[in-house]
Amino acid sequence: MRSIVCSPLLVAVCCVLSACASESMPGAGSGTGSTAAPSGASAGAPETDDQKILNALGQALSQNLLPANLSAEELAFVQRGMSDAVLGRDALVALDEYGPQIQGFMEARLAGAAEGELELATAFLEEQARVDGAERTESGIIIQEMTAGTGARPVAEDTVQVHYHGTLRDGTVFDSSVDRGEPATFPLTGVIPCWTEGVQRISVGGKSRLVCPPDLAYGPPGRPGIPGNAALVFEVELLEIVQN
C-alpha cells in the first residue's frame, strides 16, 4: 500500500493550528472578550472554488486532530484559538506559557487512544480468526482467500502490481486503489510487514482478504486517518509480478 504522508504545506498549516490551539486552553479571568467559542455552523455550504478549498483545508487539518479524540467542547477551544490568531484578536492565554505543553498534551492523548484501540483490535482479530475459511499465520496475520489465483506467487524481493481496498475494523475506508481506479505498483520490501508476508501467499490472478495486527501495520504511532494500534483490513488482488 502507498505511504500516507502530510504534504509540507499541510505540515506547516498544522503547526499553525497547534500554536493556535495552545492559545485556546482555558485561562484565569481574561478581560479580552467573551470566552464563548464561535461555531463553524454559521458558515453555509461552500459555493465558490475558494470556499470549497477552505472547507477541504479544514477537513485536512482535522485528520491531525482525530487521534486526540477531542470532545465538542474541547474542539471549541481549538476553534477559538485559531480564529483569534487568524483574525488578529487578543489571545485568551499566553502562547509562550502553554505552547510548550502542546506536544506533551497530544502525546498523552494519543497514548491513551492507542491503548484503548489495542484492546479493540485484539478482540477484532480474535473475531476475524473465527470466520469460515480464515487462516491465521504464525506472525498473527489473518488471511482469507476470496479468489484463487492461477499464476506464480511473489517472493519478498519482488515488485508487484495490485488493486487493494483498505479499511479500519469499523469499515472506514482509509486508502483504496480500487476507488482511485488505478492499480498500485511497489516492492514488497517497501510496505508494512503484513503486506510483505501476506501478498507472498497470493498467486497472480488471486484475491485475498488480509487482516493485519497493529504490530505488523503502523503500530502505536498510527498514521493520519489510521489510529494508533489499529488493526487493518485489506482486500488485495495480485495483478502481476513486475519484471525488473
Catalytic residue positions?
Answer: 164, 174-175, 192, 218, 234
Chain position carrying cell 486503489? 177
CB under 8 Å to 7, separation ≥6 — which residues?
Answer: none
> What are the DSSP calls for 35-67, one per residue?
-PPPPGGGS----SHHHHHHHHHHHHHHHHHGG
| Contact between 244 and 238 (Cβ < 8 Å) | no
Signed CA dihedral, 53, 54, 58, 63: sign only: positive
What's the burial of 45, exposed, middle or buried (CB within 10 Å: 0-12/13-18/19+)? exposed
